[in-house]
Amino acid sequence: AQLGMIAAEEAIKHAGIPQQGEDLSKIGILVGSGVGGLYTIEREEAVLLEKGPQKVSPFLVPMLITDIASAHIAIKYGFSGPNFSISTACATGNHSIGEAFKIIQRGDAEVMVAGGAEAAITPLGLAGFCSMRALSTLNDEPEKASRPFDRERDGFVIGEGAGVVVLEELERARKRKASIWGEIAGFGMSGDAYHITQPILNGRGLREAMNKALKDAEISPQGVDYINAHGTSTPFNDKVETQAIKDLFGRDAYRIPVSSTKSMTGHLLGAAGGVEMIASLLAFKEKIIPPTINYENPDPECDLDYVPNKAREAKIKVVMSNSMGFGGHNAVLVIKKL
């Protein structure tokens, strides 16, 4: 919740909302978390075992539930529009931003503060991810452990953080001369209905979500200039995502730069989509495609242009940003430069 609050404060300040006299019921919040308050659970369980139930904090439940970041932001600013959270593991950030986009399209709000926050680097969190063999074991060179699409990848590097953006109806934003970084053009989502952690091996679920996002944006596969991949650095994910991109985009898959910023940030779980949305918007502004670092050993099953090791100058107009979550959750955003 603290990370989400800090990110929201930065986004709200940058967006210049609320304006004086603005109807705060038109502004909503949708900031989620994939895991929730693991640190709080561990700390208060220790209190329970050492001192008894009477000493457990009365704030235990509010501090651990995944909707509390949205609540804190609303309370601080008085925003009384739609207010809830989404928890779809590592797809949380994209789902939150995508649903906020749809809320504005429906007319249920004019402005939405949306994204994800996560702080799961705790003894219990690390133990759980290690037990399921999700994390990299390249401990001798930790700076090289996150290596999406590389043949030697063996798991992700867990990160912490938050990514929050302010979405606003376009004409409203233009009228008040807001600083506009880009336009969300489309959102697609799907479910694998396959496995609790692994993506479906033929990539059907992600392919369907990408296709829905393109149709929602009314953009053809040929119109995409860059894909910000989910790219976790796990053996299954990167292979499946590559296959899904090739199946949907055909020959264009080899034209489109595909990179994973998780190679540099680690995997922020429920915050990943929000941070990667911001990275995609910065790609528009800076005219630079972020690289996939630590790409040293090509994998024959991952044979696309992963922007290896160095950022690339490019004028891009359309970005697709992919997210996949444990449980088979897929969420894809298509963003346009204005």
| Residue 324 binned pLDDT confidence (cut-offs 50, 70, 90) | very high
- Tokens representing 326? 């444990």
Report pLDDT for 287: 97
Q: Which of 296, 303, 313 is nearest to 144 (CA)?
A: 296
Domains of the chain, each with CATH number or no CATH: 2-175 (3.40.47.10), 183-336 (3.40.47.10)
User: Average pLDDT in the 111-133 region?
Assistant: 97
Report pLDDT for 17: 96
Asked if 4 and 76 touch (Cβ cutoff 8 Å), the reply is no
Report pLDDT for 281: 98
Given 72, 95, 195, 267, the catalytic residue: 267
Given 90, 95, 302, 329, the catalytic residue: 90
Report pLDDT for 258: 99
Q: What are phi and psi of 52, to 5 degrees?
A: 100, 165
β-partners of residue 174 are none
Q: What are phi and psi of 277, to 5 degrees?
A: -60, -45
Q: What is the average pLDDT score of the chain?
A: 98
Report pLDDT for 53: 98
Report pLDDT for 284: 97
Active site residue 329: no
Place of tokens 């630590």: 294
User: Average pLDDT in the 116-136 region?
Assistant: 97
Active site residue 90: yes
pLDDT tens column, 280-289: 999 999 999 9
Distance, CA of 148 to CA of 68 (rounded, Å): 32
pLDDT tens column, 189-231: 999 999 999 999 999 999 999 999 999 999 999 999 999 999 9
- Tokens representing 215? 């149709």
User: Average pLDDT in the 298-319 region?
Assistant: 98
pLDDT tens column, 63-78: 999 999 999 999 999 9
User: Average pLDDT in the 82-110 region?
Assistant: 98
Q: State the pairing for strand pair 318-325/329-336.
A: antiparallel
Report pLDDT for 237: 97
User: Average pLDDT in the 81-93 region?
Assistant: 98
| Residue 323 binned pLDDT confidence (cut-offs 50, 70, 90) | very high
Active site residue 267: yes
Report pLDDT for 314: 97
Given 14, 95, 130, 230, the catalytic residue: 230
Alpha helices in 56-116 (DSSP H): 60-64, 68-77, 92-106
User: Average pLDDT in the 288-297 region?
Assistant: 98
User: Average pLDDT in the 39-65 region?
Assistant: 97
Asked if 179 and 16 touch (Cβ cutoff 8 Å), the reply is yes
Report pLDDT for 37: 95
